[in-house]
Chains A and B, each alone.
Chain A
């Protein structure tokens, strides 16, 4: 009797365990399924439109053929400027937090605020730049777009720089200091070099993050149907063009939107896989 009871308890526990394990396996397949599904659809819809024309011709008016040259160039220009502005600020701020003020009150406040900026809604960043750049200038511009992207770059770089510098072993700093190196040189010549790979990873992740950002560009850089490298004028960007073309009723515009989506996704995935590979390679060495 007692044995029967305990064996029924045993089998019910086993059953419950099997159900839970089955569900967790199903959940994992479910999660991976979306990745496969999204990438599969992107490839299916985007590859047919992929041709040299996409990279050599301007965005077309509805009904005629064309490419995505001006938005690709616009995205490249704004991303580059955003990285050039955001990276130095981010690295310097991260340096203060990890090197000079590791145990400061200021550092813990900045870390907290930075983490919030890291996941703040990007559309709010767009509104902020609209208020402080677009309104005073009186018009939308490539500069405004680049600045809003820079605001998104900063927290990513701050976070990785601080983390990577914190991982640099203290004996390195002590040895350099014992040789008579001033603090600034210890940081620039020793710590930066030791943390180099990790810091580059951070910048790559930041580029991956902003190359797909749409919301902050909608009302800062706006969009531009034509070829323009003038940073004082509205500038086309790949995400903004995808947004416009996908919501249009024209079939050829929608096809171009899919092609653009394919380009962006694979750029972003390549960047984040590259960043990961770099990070794990530097960890091993």
Chain B
């Protein structure tokens, strides 16, 4: 009996520290895992910080050499090593703005179709098909634009624009010069197709989030579908739509491969929309591997820094607006 008791005591004595040990081990693992996930989350922040710091360091030689004038000079001469970013900045902004002018109304129209008009069973397939447009890699748009779309525009739209507006005073300068096929307008049209799915998807989501009661009340008063969308859905979803538009704009500004194929890569600013031009990303993609000399490389990195800052601001505004509407819904 005493033996047994003794034994049991021994077992207990052996068990208690091991239980404590296991618990301590678990606590350690728990803390370790928590620490690991936190480190990974902080790494995402460091990633963005790293991108900015690396670009700034890379851009220093160019910014020292040209100062603030880098932003306002149009010259881009690798031989004399004089660089200015005005032409690519201008090209980036103009192509993106034209793309948005085309894509925003069409995207909103598709969103209206999907939320108000489309039969229920067709909504998912059509929505998915439009979203698949967003999944096609940009190099595919590029090769398609170069071999199919640009020749098509050269033979149809561009001669038409030149013939129609050639004699109109102000508009004639917009469509001046021979129809090359490639150029600012072609790049803008391809960008429009590329950002269309982003705008459509977000507009559809915010349209869907409009409380049905509001729409039903309007319908109940005899409003037509168009009036419901125009006077009830759009005002309610305004902030979200603007957020989606900014998100699309961010995409358009940074888009590289598709634009590189079709814009023509000419470092000059011309008023004509059918003339070749360049954008920041197209310039970097075309010239970076061939750039000789530190100043040339550094100028290209400085271009990248400018692009990153512009898109950062646009995307930050987009996220802020979308966050606001998410809070209202949630």
Instruction: Mark A residues whose CB is within 8 Å of B.
Output: 13-14, 16-17, 19-21, 23-28, 30-32, 34-35, 38, 41-42, 45, 88-90, 92-93, 95-97, 99-101, 106-107, 109-110, 112-117, 119-125, 127-128, 130-132, 151, 154-155, 158, 182-185, 187-188, 208, 211-215, 218-219, 222, 239, 242-243, 246-247, 254, 257-258, 261, 264-265, 268-269, 272-273, 276
Cβ distance B260 to chain A, nearest Cβ, rounded Å = 8
Chain B residue with minimal CB distance to A23? B109
Cβ distance A222 to chain B, nearest Cβ, rounded Å = 7
**Complex interface: chain B residues within 8 A of A243 (CB):** 139, 142, 257
Number of interchain pairs (Cβ within 8 Å): 261
Known contacts A17-B224, A212-B140, A261-B143; is-contact A124 B44 (Cβ 8 Å):
no
A38, A121, A188, A208: the one contacting B255 at CB < 8 Å is A121
With A131-B54, A239-B257 known, 8 other A-B pairs at CB within 8 A are A27-B113, A41-B148, A95-B40, A96-B37, A115-B315, A120-B51, A123-B281, A124-B311
B315 near A215: Cβ-Cβ < 8 Å: no
Instruction: Mark B residues whose CB is within 8 Å of A.
Output: 26-27, 29-30, 32-34, 36-45, 47-48, 50-51, 54-55, 57-58, 105-106, 109-110, 112-114, 117-118, 126, 128-130, 132-133, 135-144, 146-148, 193, 196-197, 200, 224-227, 229-230, 247, 250-251, 253-257, 261, 281, 284-285, 288-289, 300-301, 304, 307-308, 311-312, 315-316, 319, 323
B29 near A182: Cβ-Cβ < 8 Å: yes
**Complex interface: chain A residues within 8 A of B225 (CB):** 17, 20-21
B48, B141, B254, B261: the one contacting A113 at CB < 8 Å is B48
**Complex interface: chain A residues within 8 A of B301 (CB):** 127, 131
**Complex interface: chain A residues within 8 A of B135 (CB):** 208, 268-269, 272
Of B117, B137, B256, B311, most buried by chain A (CB within 10 Å of CB) is B137
Give 5 closest A-B pairs by Cβ, nearest first. Answer: A212-B137, A121-B254, A92-B40, A27-B109, A96-B37
**Complex interface: chain A residues within 8 A of B106 (CB):** 27, 30-31
A182 near B27: Cβ-Cβ < 8 Å: yes
**Complex interface: chain A residues within 8 A of B311 (CB):** 119-121, 124
